[in-house]
């Protein structure tokens, strides 16, 4: 083993420039592959991050007005999403948690002399299971708040700051239309609004603001759906069932507005998987160019060394000895230079990751980034290494075969 290594290095060392140039094309190929894949991950991470504050398998629906007549009923009717609608939706096997929301617009929230004008969302604790929420302080609303119709409020950080300034907000009371609510938690999100809505228990809101209208929106968890087609099919079936019961045309998309985050997410992911594939293709292409370069140079090298191989044969080298010699030389070049390329690629990716880190969740003022935390998984790196080794062997195989096929006497007389 040591002898083979020694043999390799003495013959590679003899042609330093050629060895370097060959190796460089390999290193460059691997470097580009790693860089491209890492940047592809950067793009993908950015998108994933932008999707992060919502569960990926949810569907939200809002009531609307009909724009098509239905069985003799005229257009322009309001559709009500109430507990009857929830019961229909719950019958569908794919449906998991349902989180209804009731909104009250434009309330005045006061603390001392300070006030904020914004809406109130009445929600059930399920809301917090479906949509991730970044709690800065305190807690979310729980089932006890819901059951006891507690007058508690989960406030947006902006509103809390406007009302309480630098004082501790948790535990203080904010008045909303003369009713005091105890602040139990502060949350934040990337909402651009200057005065976002705050959250109180749905039961509390229904008690204080009784209304005949239905819910403002329903958010539904869907399970076991993993393709855009299945998503669309589910949405269509949902419309048909609701249309039958609530009396609207299932083709009438204005009757109930549906936003399907799942198909949205999948479409985006499909695009980015496509980009990833494309980057792989380019990276592999660069790598293959490197391999072809090595193969070419190995061919020349082997031809130049025909006489040497003839001498080795006359001294008793078997065909296997010669093939092993050539293959291991090629392997030494590809593996060592490829490793440098790999290392350089990872270093650059790590550098980029420092420049474009994952932003803190509180980055409300930041615009959504397009490039976040590029990275290379250990498996991709190992895969690239494996490709390198296979490439090194493949590049040398044809030249090695050729070297062996020359008859010793012809090889000896080769000049």
Partner 1 sequence: MIRLENIHKTYTGGTSLHVLKGINLNIEDGEFLSIMGASGSGKSTLLNILGLLDNYDEGAYYLDDVLIKNLSEIQAADYRNKLIGFVFQSFNLINYKNALENVALPLYYQGIGRRQRNQIALEYLDKMGMKDWATHLPSEMSGGQKQRVAIARALATKPRVILADEPTGALDSKTSVEVMNILQRVNREDGITVIMVTHAPEMAAFTDRTIHIKDGIIDSENDNNKF
Give the binding range for partner 1 (CB under 8 A) out of 154-162, 259-267, 316-324, 362-370.
Answer: 316-324
Cβ-based neighbours of 220, under 8 Å, separated by 6 or more: 58, 59, 60, 61, 89, 95, 96, 97, 98, 99
C-alpha of 285 from chain center: 25
Angle between helix 378-405 and 319-355 (nearest 10):
150
Q: Which residue stretches of 305-365 are H helix?
A: 306-314, 319-355
C-alpha 154/C-alpha 352 separation (Å) is 38
Chosen residue from 315, 365, 367, 379 binding partner 1 by CB under 8 A: 315
DSSP string, 99-156: EEEEEEEEEEEEETTEEEEEEEEEE-THHHHHS--EEEEE----HHHHHTT--EEEEE
Closer residue to partner 1 (CB): 11 or 191: 11
| Nearest approach, Cβ of residue 24 and partner 1 (Å) | 22
Instruction: Note the residue count of the chain.
Output: 415
C-alpha 103/C-alpha 121 separation (Å) is 5
| Nearest approach, Cβ of residue 323 and partner 1 (Å) | 12
Give the binding range for partner 1 (CB under 8 A) out of 25-33, 244-252, 310-318, 377-385.
Answer: 310-318
Closer residue to partner 1 (CB): 136 or 412: 412
C-alpha 8/C-alpha 396 separation (Å) is 14
| Site for partner 1 contains 1 (CB under 8 A) | no
Considering only residues 10 to 49 of the shown chain, the ones binding partner 1 according to CB under 8 A are 10-11, 13-14
Chosen residue from 69, 138, 361, 408 binding partner 1 by CB under 8 A: 408
Q: How many residues bind partner 1 (CB under 8 A)?
A: 25
Chosen residue from 76, 274, 285, 319 binding partner 1 by CB under 8 A: 319
Chosen residue from 314, 360, 366, 390 binding partner 1 by CB under 8 A: 314
Closer residue to partner 1 (CB): 56 or 318: 318
Q: Supply angle C-alpha 233, 237, 242, rounded to 5.
A: 150
Chosen residue from 182, 318, 347, 366 binding partner 1 by CB under 8 A: 318
| Site for partner 1 contains 324 (CB under 8 A) | no
Cβ-based neighbours of 138, under 8 Å, separated by 6 or more: 154, 170, 183, 184, 185, 186
Site string for partner 1, 237-276 (x = CB under 8 A): ----------------------------------------
| Site for partner 1 contains 156 (CB under 8 A) | no
Residue 336 · residue 23 · CB < 8 Å: yes
Give the binding range for partner 1 (CB under 8 A) out of 242-250, 296-304, 308-316, 358-366.
Answer: 308-316
Closer residue to partner 1 (CB): 109 or 313: 313
Chosen residue from 52, 134, 308, 375 binding partner 1 by CB under 8 A: 308
| Nearest approach, Cβ of residue 15 and partner 1 (Å) | 9
Residue 110 · residue 177 · CB < 8 Å: no
Per-residue buried b or exposed e for 330-365, using 16+ beta carbons within 10 Å of the residue's own CB:
bbbbbbbbbbbbbebbbebbeebbeebeeeebeebe
| Site for partner 1 contains 312 (CB under 8 A) | yes
By the 10 Å C-beta count (0-12 exposed, 13-18 middle, 19+ buried), 144 is classed as: exposed
Neighbour tally for 317: CB within 10 Å? 17
| Nearest approach, Cβ of residue 312 and partner 1 (Å) | 7
| Nearest approach, Cβ of residue 320 and partner 1 (Å) | 8
| Site for partner 1 contains 2 (CB under 8 A) | yes
Closer residue to partner 1 (CB): 79 or 406: 406
Give the binding range for partner 1 (CB under 8 A) out of 72-80, 169-177, 199-207, 403-411.
Answer: 403-411
**Of 410, 406, 414, nearest to 322 (Cα)?**
406
Give the binding range for partner 1 (CB under 8 A) out of 67-75, 187-195, 389-397, 405-413.
Answer: 405-413
Residues in contact with partner 1 by the rule CB under 8 A: 2-3, 10-11, 13-14, 307-308, 310-321, 404, 407-409, 412
């Amino acid at each position: 083993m040591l002898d083979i290594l020694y043999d390799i290095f003495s013959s590679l060392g003899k042609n330093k420039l050629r060895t370097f140039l060959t190796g460089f094309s390999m290193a460059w190929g691997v470097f580009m592959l790693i860089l491209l894949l890492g940047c592809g991950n950067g793009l993908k991470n950015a998108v994933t991050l932008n999707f992060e504050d919502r569960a990926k398998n949810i569907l939200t629906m809002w009531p609307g007005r009909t724009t098509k007549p239905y069985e003799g009923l005229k257009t322009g009717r309001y559709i009500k999403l109430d507990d009857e609608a929830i019961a229909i939706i719950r019958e569908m096997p794919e449906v998991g948690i349902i989180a209804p929301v009731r909104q009250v617009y434009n309330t005045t929230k006061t603390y001392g002399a300070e006030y904020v004008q914004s809406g109130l969302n009445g929600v059930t604790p399920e809301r917090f299971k479906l949509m991730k929420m970044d709690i800065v302080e305190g807690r979310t609303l729980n089932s006890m708040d819901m059951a006891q119709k507690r007058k508690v409020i989960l406030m947006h950080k902006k509103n809390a700051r406007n009302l309480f300034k630098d004082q501790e907000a948790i535990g203080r009371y904010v008045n909303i239309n003369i009713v005091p609510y105890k602040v139990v938690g502060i949350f934040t999100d990337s909402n651009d609004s200057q005065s976002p809505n705050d959250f109180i228990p749905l039961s509390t809101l229904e008690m204080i603001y009784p209304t005949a209208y239905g819910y403002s929106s329903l958010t539904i968890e869907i399970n076991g759906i993993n393709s855009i087609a299945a998503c669309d099919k589910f949405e269509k079936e949902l419309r048909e069932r609701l249309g039958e019961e609530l009396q609207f045309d299932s083709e009438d998309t204005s009757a109930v507005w549906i936003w399907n985050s799942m198909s949205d997410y999948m479409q985006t992911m499909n695009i980015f998987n496509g980009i990833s594939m494309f980057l792989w293709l380019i990276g592999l292409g660069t790598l293959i160019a490197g391999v072809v370069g090595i193969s070419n140079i190995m061919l020349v090298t082997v031809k130049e060394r025909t006489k040497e191989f003839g001498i080795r044969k006359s001294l008793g080298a078997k065909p296997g000895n010669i093939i092993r010699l050539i293959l291991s030389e090629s392997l030494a070049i590809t593996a060592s230079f490829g490793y440098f390329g790999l290392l350089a690629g990872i270093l650059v990716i790590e550098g980029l990751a420092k420049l474009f880190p994952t932003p803190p969740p509180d980055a409300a003022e930041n615009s959504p980034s397009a490039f976040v935390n590029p990275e290379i998984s250990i498996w991709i790196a190992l895969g690239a290494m494996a490709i390198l080794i296979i490439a090194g062997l493949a590049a040398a195989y044809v030249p090695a075969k050729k070297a062996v096929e020359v008859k010793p006497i012809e090889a000896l007389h080769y000049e």
